[in-house]
Amino acid sequence: MRVRILGCSGNLVGKYRTTSFLLDDSFLVDAGTVTEAMGRRDLRKIRHILISHTHMDHLKGLFPLVDELVMMGDYSVELVSVAPVLDIITNNLLNNLIWPDFTVIPSVSKAVIRLKEIPLERPTVLDRISVTPVLMTHTVYTVGFVIRQDDGQGFMFTADTGPTKRFWEVAEGERDIRFIIADVSFPNRLADLAILSGHMTPSMLMESIDAHELGDRLFYVSHMKPVFAREIIAEFERSGRKNIRFLRQSEILTV
């Protein structure tokens, strides 16, 4: 599985793009960045869009994508998440007030967006990719994911989260996980703001790693606010930990 990082920043500023990962050309994990990073030929290949939560930096790319697909003709995508996340999208965004309801456009039978509800903590297979949502700790209903290809190899993604427990318990029991992508949005000095807004600092992530004996796992730090990125990186580097790296926009990871 190839994991192309379309965007991984905690804000859209200048060259920095927000969270979206493309798996093997046809599967998006979150949709903070889509059309800004992909041409029309590649957009046609997208079949599934997995959404962790409904904050706009993880969802805004959905809207220009579906608008573009309508113009291409007979194309559709499957919007995949747990029921509370899909409910927020349909009731508050695809409501013909904020954005047209593309679940019935151009018709119910040929809608550009098809909704796919998946259950918590149970794997769902979509085109040979297995997805297991895990409830996180954020300011809105949010799930992280265990994502595996058909040979069992995979990775985990916290999505946005503050200090949490269940995700790390699940991580302890997972095998054949190549890496974990983890949200660290703020430096240690802004711990109160991180907790209030449902994010982590370097210390919070390292405490979770130690508490759950995950020091042998490879971590990629994601969702850094661009204004704090250098400070966050310096705090991790001072820790001397060799298993923590920093996700880079446009890089490709291999599972």
Q: Which helix (H) or strand (E) holds 92?
A: helix 83-92
| Whether the model pTM is above 0.95 | yes
Q: Which helix (H) or strand (E) holds 29?
A: strand 27-29
Looking at residue 61, what is its pLDDT? 97
> How many domains is the chain partitioned into structurally?
1
Looking at residue 132, what is its pLDDT? 98
Two structure tokens written together for 132: 């297991």
Maximum Cα interatomic distance, the chain, rounded to a whole number of Å: 56
Domain that holds residue 45: 2-254
Q: Is 79 exposed, middle or buried (0-12, 13-18, 19+ CB in 10 A)?
A: buried
Q: Consecutive 10-residue runs of the chain (255 residues): their mean pLDDT?
A: 98 96 97 96 96 98 93 89 98 95 93 97 96 98 97 97 98 95 98 98 98 97 98 98 97 97
Instruction: Compute the distance between CA of residue 137 and CA of residue 1 in angstroms, rounded to an integer.
Output: 28
Looking at residue 98, what is its pLDDT? 94
Task: Taking the CA atoms of 145, 90, 60 and 53 in sequence, report the sign of the dihedral they define.
Answer: negative
Identify the CATH number of the domain in which residue 140 sits: 3.60.15.10
